[in-house]
Amino acid sequence: MCALVCCCLFSSLRAQETISEAQAKFFEAKIRPVLVERCYSCHSEDAKEIHGGLLLDTRAGMRRGGDSGPAVVPGNLAGSLLITAIRYGDDDFAMPPDVAGGKLAASVIQDFETWVKTGAADPRDGKARVVAKYDTAKARAWWAFQPIRRESAPKPRDRAWATAEIDRFIEAVWQEKGLTAVDDAEPLALLRRLRFDLTGLPPSSEEAAAFIAEWNKSASRQTLLESTVDRLLRSPQFGERWGRHWLDVARYAESSGKDVNVVFPHAWRYRDYVIDALNDDKPFDDFIREQMAGDLLPARSDKDRAENLIATGFLAVGTKSLNETNPKQFAVDLADEQIDAVTQSFLGLTVACARCHDHRFDPVSQRDYTALAGIFLSTDTRFGTAGGVQGRNQSTLVELPAKAKLATVAKAMPQRDLQQKTARLESLQQQQRNALAQRANGRSATDGMSNFDVVRIITQATQLESELSVVNEDGSPKPLAMAAVDRPVEAPVQRGRRGPRGQGRRPANEFETILNSPFFARGNIDNEGDRVPRGVPTLLAVGNVPSTREIVNEPQPGTSGRRELAEAIVSRDNPLAARVIVNRVWHWLLGRGLVESVDNFGTTGSEPSHPELLDYLADRFQRDDWSLKKLIRSIVLSRTYRLSSQFAEGRFAIDPDNACCWRHSPRRLEAEEIGDAILFAAGELNLRPPAGSLVGRAGDGPIGGDRMMALKDEQIANAQHKYRSIYLPIARNVQPVLLATFDLPDASAPDGHRETTNVPSQSLFLLNSDFTATHSRTLAELLLKQYPGAGAMARFEDRLQLAYARVLIREPGAVDRAAAKTLMARHQNDPVTGWTSLVRALFASAQFRLLE
């Protein structure tokens, strides 16, 4: 019976398989294109002859398999014949065959292995969608590519309900669906919502009491709300909350990830730039321009020049395969990562899917992709590390203007260390030159050194060169930043810190100057075709405006074209940029975007639930000088935002996903909000921003490596401080436990919609972690200090009131009091332990971690 139930349950789950947006992205970007290009000719319903009875163009066909068994068994590499075949581990199953291009690249095989190990998520249902011919006209008809319309708000059905034009759009859809609004939120719930949404912090008990008092006596509650919202928008904490939203989209992290996880010690400057820009309400079109092409923009002062350079860190903070042995492949992969980041972040399009073939679903051809690739291949990305083994793919940084007087966090290098490292570097370089010269003369043995010794010398020399490059001649740290700048028109002579690298110079890739990218057949760098003029494809630049030209906005001679691309993105002719950011803001405030697929506005994404409202907000956003604060203000002051989160069965039956906004969707606090709220309640949160970051102070090197290690995994995983959580170290592959437990994105790609899980490890963290225990005790001691008395029950009511006010922003009820009295009775002689237990229980409660 047990086995039968398990089988039925498994079958049910298989039938109802759901996958996350991140899993769908991975499949569409990494798996489906390879299947289409290399497998479908023999293993799809459209194949002239289906080989081995195996169909790979549907999920069901792939898992059922062919004559030899299942091609894919989710989570089981050994049982998946597809993996055996592409590894060439069995001569009978070596696929694809030579006539179909031969064995797949190692990185592609790794992608398939990752896909299977993580559950083989596959969004295909039924027959696979294979586009036999690229149909631009059909794809161009998609709603997202149409011009933004200037919409007028519908006439209200209930004039007493709507307080803003936004409400009239929402109410019009209710009328169509047969819906009505729930009640408004209670004032304390509304204040807590506003506080977390706008600053990421809860209100203090004093602030809550003052708000309620004013609410109860105020003749105009709308005026009170407006003054509260304006105060929160002016708060420095606004930029820290909304900066974290953007850092998710910008795939911000302080290490390279991938094969060798090397830190980015200067990434924190970009983080601080984002926070400052949002606090200053920098027009969002300028925000885009600076991140795309700040180095190419005019600057009024050294400070502005430094800020513009730091902004381009957006292009530099992505993942890097630093151990890639082919410099040309590294350059092409880096450009691909930047194309993906730019187009998903600003346009909501998966343009990188067109790297190997015309996009299967969106109006982006491979030539369009190649035109963009030329822009980024003409860009020198300064991410600043000593690189991988033998200094592979090392990078410098950009030195910021000294007159900008920017802070540095790196330690000064004492003169003695400076001299020793300089001498050691010169010695290693000489050994390197001798070894390479002897090897060039045909000698395999080089002064008694093995090949490993030569590699070690090169790696150590590169590391020392990197360490010396970040300090001045007197050992003081230079003001440096990750950034992107244009490549030169002519190839430079590669030099080290103290002159040319001579015989140790590594083979250069051909992308050292500004140039147009070759067209790579099937994305293979060995299959070069004609060069495609770099520029902005018309389909991305001007929305639905027809053009006979393939590329517009050609760059000025001698420039990469990033500035022209930025201008095309923010152009009024491009309907995507404004729609995408407006939709992101709606999602961050209401819990669901007007377009649910916030990172995908292409034809495989969602259609808007309120298309007229989306265009109304996008048009107004542009006319308001792209002001995020004005946009946010208009949304949070609407009646729609003020609705309660109460459940209503009849309305739920009509709209179970709450796409029509008939109530406010409750959400779990994000990781940073949980950590900050615990510190805030305990009275330990330091609101003064720290200088730099743990990673910035550690200096260059890999995470967790045995030699030349910058940081250990444990240092990042166990990192704690009393500043806002946005200032915790954010590395790839390892994260602070608090952030990892509560679903911090992995920063491998733009992510505007965090996954929200509810798993036992989260409750265990809130109940048992050192972090929660320490700050629960701190708050308990504060309660006892403020209301002194012998025993746990002394001043019981006062202590309980304060505990609930600081943690849950409410008064305790009768049930709360009864439970607390029972607990304190057990700890009468140990009040610290008793009240610590109570506070920890409040932190672990659903009311604490949920925002209603």
* Tokens linked to 834: 């008793």
467 and 548 within one domain: no
pLDDT of residue 508: 53
pLDDT digits (tens, 9 = 90+) for 487-519: 999 876 654 443 333 333 344 567 889 999 999
Tokens 């890999």 sit on residue:
702
* Tokens linked to 217: 């006596």
Last residue of a domain, one of 125, 155, 190: 125
pLDDT of residue 770: 94
User: Is there a domain that residue 522 lies in?
Assistant: yes
Last residue of a domain, one of 92, 125, 158: 125
**116 touches 77 (CB < 8 A):** yes
**296 touches 342 (CB < 8 A):** no
Q: How confident is the model at residue 707 (pLDDT cuts 50, 70, 90)?
A: low
423 and 394 within one domain: no
In angstroms, the Cα distances linking 193 to 629, 675, 805 are 17, 17, 15
For helices 268-279 and 302-311, give the axis angle rounded to 10 degrees: 110
422 and 531 within one domain: no
pLDDT digits (tens, 9 = 90+) for 746-778: 999 999 999 999 999 999 999 999 999 999 999
426 and 361 within one domain: no
824 and 791 within one domain: yes
Q: For residues 304 and 300, give the distance between their C-alpha atoms in angstroms, rounded to a whole number.
A: 6
In angstroms, the Cα distances linking 127 to 57, 59, 121, 626, 833 are 7, 9, 16, 43, 62
pTM: 0.82
User: Is there a domain that residue 566 lies in?
Assistant: yes
3-state secondary structure of 570: helix
Last residue of a domain, one of 125, 145, 164: 125
Residue 320 vs residue 66, higher pLDDT: 320
433 and 380 within one domain: no
325 and 432 within one domain: no
User: Is there a domain that residue 275 lies in?
Assistant: no
pLDDT of residue 13: 35
User: Is there a domain that residue 775 lies in?
Assistant: yes
Average pLDDT over the chain, rounded to an integer: 87
Q: Is the pLDDT of residue 68 over 80?
A: no
User: Is there a domain that residue 130 lies in?
Assistant: no
User: Is there a domain that residue 722 lies in?
Assistant: no
Mean pLDDT confidence for 634-642: 97
- Mind giving me the DSSP string for 737-802? HHHHHTT---SSS--SS------HHHHHHHHH-HHHHHHHHHHHHHHHHHS--SSTTTTHHHHHHH
Q: For residues 186 and 164, give the distance between their C-alpha atoms in angstroms, rounded to a whole number.
A: 19
452 and 318 within one domain: no
Q: 458 is in which domain, residue-wise?
A: 412-476
Encode 678-714: b = buried (16+ Cβ within 10 Å), e = exposed.
Answer: bbbbbeebeeeeeebbbbbbbbbbbbbeeebebbeee
Q: Is the pLDDT of residue 5 over 60?
A: no
Mean pLDDT confidence for 597-618: 95
Q: Is 337 left (phi over 0), alpha (psi -120 to 50) or beta?
A: alpha
Q: For residues 345 and 284, give the distance between their C-alpha atoms in angstroms, rounded to a whole number.
A: 13
pLDDT digits (tens, 9 = 90+) for 655-698: 999 999 999 999 999 999 999 999 999 999 999 999 999 998 88
3-state secondary structure of 528: strand
**563 touches 292 (CB < 8 A):** yes
Q: For residues 723 and 687, give the distance between their C-alpha atoms in angstroms, rounded to a whole number.
A: 6
423 and 324 within one domain: no
Q: For residues 247 and 250, give the distance between their C-alpha atoms in angstroms, rounded to a whole number.
A: 5
566 and 434 within one domain: no
383 and 451 within one domain: no
CB neighbours of 484 closer than 8 A, spacing ≥ 6?
295, 312, 313, 315, 316, 379, 380, 381, 382, 562
User: Is there a domain that residue 715 lies in?
Assistant: no
pLDDT of residue 612: 96
pLDDT of residue 131: 38
Number of domains in the chain: 4
3-state secondary structure of 465: helix
Planar angle of CA 759, 762, 765, nearest 5 degrees: 150
390 and 420 within one domain: no
User: Is there a domain that residue 388 lies in?
Assistant: yes
Mean pLDDT confidence for 606-615: 96
